[in-house]
Every structure is written in structure tokens, then in C-alpha cells.
Structure 1
Amino acid sequence: MSTYLVTGGGTGIGAAVAARLAADGGDVVVSGRRREPLDEVASAHQRVVAMPADAADGAAMGRLVADVVELYGSLDGVVANAGGHGYDSVGDTSDEAWRSSLDANLTTAFVTARESLRALERSGGAFVAVSSLAGLRAAPETAGYTVGKHALLGLVRSIARDHGHRVRANAVCPGWVRTPMADEEMRVLVEGGGAADVEAAYATVTRDVPLRRPAAPEEIAGVVAFLLGPDAAYVQGATLVVDGGAHIVDVPTLAFDGKAGDAP
């Protein structure tokens, strides 16, 4: 029986990961700063327990890991999914916004990894960080988010390099996924006149993606479950892109694609 900790586990990808791991027979602790969504996930799935904590707070995460180990006897997998915004250009990002974005997108994963590594080393467990396609590419006016997600890949590689004899550490880079956070971005596009409604906005942002659609959270959860499981026993320090093929598109050639501007 395996025990997992999922940060940012109350909504979106984190909630889907918790549901998948529990369905596969694992015991899952979902964590985050807001208790209400965590409780909703826990009440919806057997084998899921809510334990609120700020993933960027070392003392809080240290206590959380200790509580998990005391409750279940071990910690076998950690999913660092907590994240946040960081939407502005470098020139327009304030000191406060910069610190907030890096705390949300990088410090949370660093602190979670640091506080859980000893427990993972004892169990021979696995660590998975949820980065983003923004960890490989730069979108407009998302400096804090882009830098944090890029750095997250370096964190995973450092964990694999230094602790890889006892812990597997890998990252996933999703593209557009239907989550509450992405829905907010779609509404911004709608309000700016770029789409008629949220559905049209998703169609617009994925029209040049080979699969022509956003992912469901459950599709990302399946990849995370693979990286945590025995079938990925020799996968170490890897970045697995789960974006419907967006990263393979050669942007300068889109003008030559007669269908490039058409909705799916």
C-alpha cells in the first residue's frame, strides 16, 4: 500500500491526481492553504484525507510530512502541484508580484521537496513536480510564471542528480488544461474581445495544437500516476511534456498553413 502527498490538491490537476491515486488503491493526503476545496476532494473519494498547509512554509510542511508518516507509516510519493499566477512583463512586474509568483510556482516545490526527501529516501519513493509548457516556452506578459516554471525543471534535475540513488524525481509540463485557473484566463480572453465565450476561447488557444483541444485534468493525472508507479522505475530527471503536441509546432511556419486560422 502506497501513501502519497499532493500539494495544491483542492482543485484542477491536483484534485484529479488525488482521485486517480486513490482509485489505484493508494492512500492520499491532499494539501493546500484553503481547507474547503480540500475537504470537498476528501469527501468525494475514499482513501483521501485533507491536511491544510502552506507549501511555501518550511515549518508547516515539515509538520505535515511528519504527520503523514506518523499516520500511515511511510511516504511513497509526493506531487508538487501547488502553483499560482505571475502575469505581467518583466518591466511591469513589481518586487512584491515577483516574490509572490516565485513563492507560488517555485518555492512551494522546493520546500515540499526539501521537507519530504528524507521520508522519500527511506521508502525509495518518487517526487513529481507539475511544471507547465511555460517551463519550456515563454508566453506574453507572464514573466513571473514563466521563470518559476522554468526553474522548477532545474529543481527536479538537481533532486535527481543529488538524491537519485534513493529517490526518483521527474516533471510534467502540461499545456492548456481545463482547470479553474485556465477558465479564468479564458474569461480574460473573452472580456478582451478575443472570443465569444469560454468554449470559443479554449478553441482559439488550441487551434494550432495538433490535438486541437485542451486536456482534461484526468489526462494529466494519468501521466503523474505513471511517473509515480513501477512502470517508470528507470525514469529519472525527466521532463514529460503533456500538451497535445503544442511544443512540436514550428511557429514561424504557421503562416504557410492554410488552416492555421480556422477553429477546430
Structure 2
Amino acid sequence: MSPQQLQGKVIAVTGAASGIGLAFAQLAAARGAKLSLADVSQAGLDKAAAELRATAGADNVLTRVVDVRKYDQVQAWIDATTQTFGRLDGAANMAGVIPKDIGIHTLADQDLEQWDFVLGVNATGLMHCLKAQTRVVADGGSIVNASSIAGVTGRAKNAAYAASKHAVVGLTRSACKEFGYRGVRVNCICPGPIDTPMNHKAHEIVTASGATTHTGQSVLSSTHENALGRAGRPEEVAHLIAYLLSDESTYVSGTAICVDGGSSLVPPLRITPRMCHATSAVTSMGTSVAMLSWLVSTAPSTVVSDW
């Protein structure tokens, strides 16, 4: 991709003050884009804007404090974007939140206020952004939304977040079909364990709760399950977003692309003595051991034995 692939494009970014949103804004500024930045944090937005104006130029960066749950704020921000720059070529909708009880409570104990909060930002907030952006985005434009591997695989003790990220995939694909006739492309990214402030917060919540089971682990503590064995960097996700917003991806639309180091792959099947004992209640232990031997011999890359 050319270093100036986004030269002159007007791109709106939510969640621009930190994490993946900030990493993309930094990359886009370096590649010549004009940026309209939105975030709920005034302090974070001011800090990001100061850095980005030094790269892109003071006249090429617009900022607005926006709570995406409030449509009037979203619409006012997009209006300001088109009034300032004359058009909108693309958007990176990266705003998102996690619940305060992530990795702790099952659906049976779901906190209803947290459900409304997470769905309000991650799902309804995205709908607000798409509603405002698709009205004015240029023909042939591109929009990228932030889902998650939780939006394609689900996650125990994380129902609100997983449901909200599944909603992102649905909104993305609906918008793709509705606006494709104008050449507008709509895709979503599905990050796995990425080294961001939000994922560090999730790790702190799970650690403080004392949860030690697989279903209660945080995203950053589960990196042993992905092929690369490490958390990703925000800039690694930013490069994918830049590609999807560039003219080098003009036939890519309606996709949910995982950028997760292999985390969304099925984890290894762990065969334990307890599993064999359970099997022996139905059949003989000899059959259980024979089954174990067959599994290990036929699929050694996906079966792990604790024997």
C-alpha cells in the first residue's frame, strides 16, 4: 500500500482518543487523510488532537466530544464534518465499551443496567453513526466498524459484550446491502487480544474478581490460545482499517475480518483422566483408552492429553 494511500480523504473516526481508534487516526494522518475525530473523553481527545495536528496540519483535524448513544450529538458531529471539509469519504467507527462485570457473571446474573449501557454504546451507538454517515458519505466511500472475535464466536460470562458485537456484524452486513448500489463499502473488523486500555481494564476486572476458570478469563490472559502466542498491537489493527478505507479494497464489502493471531480458531481438545473415567461409566476403560489413543494418533495437532 502506498504511504499516501489515504491522501486527501475525509475520514470520521469514533473512539479516536485511545486504543485502536487513536492508532488508526495516527496512521491516517501520516498517510495524508483529513480527520474528524469523535470521543466521549474531552481530555483524551485534546491530547490526541494536539499530536495529530502536528502531523496532518491544524486545518486538517476536527474534533467533537460525542456520546454515540445520543443521536443528536452524532448528527451534529457529522454535519460539522461535511461543513468543515465539504464531504465525507469514509468512517472508522471504533467507539466501544465493556461491562463492569466482564468475565464474572453469567446470563442468570446479568446486570440489566450494564446490559443497557453496553448495547447502548456498541450497538445503538453504531446504528446512530451509520444512520448519520450513510446519508452523506460519498459514492464509492467506505465505512469500517469495530466488532470483535466475541462477535463471531460468543464468549461465556460476557453476554452483553458478545451480543453487542454480534449486532455490529449484522449492522455492517445490512448497511453493505443497502448502500452497495452507490459503491459504498461497509466492513467490520473482529479484533482478538489487543494491547489496548480497554483490554487492560477487562484484565483488571477479571483478576480482581478472583476468577480463574477458562470462562472467566480476560482477553489478554488468553493469548496462549492463539497461534502467535501474544497480544496484538493497536497499529496492527490500524493497518487493516486503512486498507479497507483505501482504494485498494474496492471489491471488499460485507466482511467480518478477524485480526486475532488465530484466537478465533477452535482451541485444542484437552483429554483428561476425568473424561476417560466418565466414559468408563458407559463402556469399559479399555475402550476409553483406545478412543484416547485413536484421537491422539489421528489429530495430534488438535488434541492434548493430560495423561
Structure 1 and Structure 2 fold alike (TM over 0.5): yes
Aligned match of 1:36: 43
Aligned match of 1:93: 110
Which segments of 5 or more consecutive residues in structure 1 lack a partner in the other structure? 196-200
Aligned ranges for residues 82-231 of structure 1 at < 5 Å?
82-86=95-99, 87=102, 88-120=105-137, 122-166=138-182, 167-192=184-209, 204-231=221-248
2: CA distance, partners of 1:203 / 1:238: 25
- TM-superposed CA distance for 1:95, in Å, is 2.9
2: CA distance, partners of 1:38 / 1:85: 20
2:84 to 60, 71, 74: 71
- TM-superposed CA distance for 1:259, in Å, is 10
- Give the 3-state SS of the residue equivalent to 2:224 in structure 1: coil
Aligned match of 1:198: none
Q: Deviations over 1:141-195 (max 9, x none)?
A: 1111000001110000000111112211000000010011111122234435679
Q: Deviations over 1:112-158 (max 9, x none)?
A: 000111211x3431111010010011222111100000111000000
2: CA distance, partners of 1:185 / 1:96: 18
Q: Aligned letter for 1:146?
A: A
1:6 to 1:207, Cα distance in 2 relative to 1, 3 A: same
Among the aligned pairs, what percent are the same residue? Answer: 29
1:100 to 1:192, Cα distance in 2 relative to 1, 3 A: closer
Aligned ranges for residues 44-63 of structure 1 at < 5 Å?
44-46=51-53, 47=56, 48-63=61-76
Larger radius of gyration: 2
2: CA distance, partners of 1:28 / 1:154: 27
Q: Aligned letter for 2:74?
A: M
Does the 8 A contact of 1:35 with 1:50 survive in 2? no
Quote the RMSD (CA, aligned, Å): 2.3
Q: Aligned letter for 1:62?
A: Q
Does the 8 A contact of 2:268 with 2:302 survive in 1? no
Q: Aligned letter for 2:167?
A: A
- TM-superposed CA distance for 1:202, in Å, is 7.5
Q: Aligned letter for 2:240?
A: V
Does the 8 A contact of 1:203 with 1:212 survive in 2? no
- TM-superposed CA distance for 1:96, in Å, is 2.1
1: CA distance, partners of 2:229 / 2:155: 19
- TM-superposed CA distance for 1:16, in Å, is 0.5
Which segments of 5 or more consecutive residues in structure 2 lack a partner in the other structure? 1-7, 213-217, 273-295
| Normalised TM-score (structure 1) | 0.89
1: CA distance, partners of 2:220 / 2:41: 31
